[in-house]
Amino acid sequence: MKRIANMLNFLKHFSLIFIAGLICYIFLDFDDYCSGIEILFIVPFLLIILILNILTLFIFNYFRNKRNKTNRNKISTFYVLGTLLIMALFFFGQNLYQQSYKPIWIGTSQENDFINLILFDDNHFELKKRSNHYACIKKGKFEQKGNYIYLKRKDLVRNYDIKLDSIYFFNKDKSLLIPQNENYKISPFQKN
């Protein structure tokens, strides 16, 4: 019987960790990712489940430890601080990665207005492809030598549905990023 009680106790707290981990996984994007309109429905649903789970555990532990006020106060503080931390991650954590690096150049494809190339000051780039209901972002490193930009992601150049070149160069006023290999009919990126 004690083994079953320990298993239930573990499952209660594991569900909290699992749901919070899912929310963090959705918002922390360190690699290529795609997201769409479904995020508007999934994240609030997960947050509601997480808050209900925290409230259920809080009420359960409050009545279970009614006589032991010290233990009850520690658990109550843990749940309240945990809820505040999760809410802070939800509202403020999603822009943490994007705000840490400043874009040095942002351009839009002349072929398709829904494709952007952003070059950041730490020598990484983001290629954004947007549509009405989703956006895909591919990330990689680049190297700048004079007016030339060398994209280090060869898989994007070869296998991606957007036509890319691995070497681009700026025009005189840096308003266009022009592909070096013009044989493939790759359109340049125009500065926003």
Q: Pick the residue with more confidence: 158 or 117?
A: 117
Q: Is the pTM of this model over 0.75?
A: no
Question: pLDDT digits over 15-48, tens only?
Answer: 877 887 787 777 777 677 788 888 888 888 888 8
- Domain residue spans of the chain: 2-97, 101-191
- Percent pLDDT > 70 in the chain is 77
CATH for 101-191? 2.40.128
The Cα–Cα gap between 106 and 110 comes to: 13
Helices (H), the chain: 2-27, 39-64, 69-92, 96-99, 154-159
The Cα–Cα gap between 49 and 63 comes to: 21
- Averaged pLDDT for residues 58-76: 68
Q: Which amino acid is at 86?
A: I
187 phi and psi, to 5 degrees? Answer: -80, 145
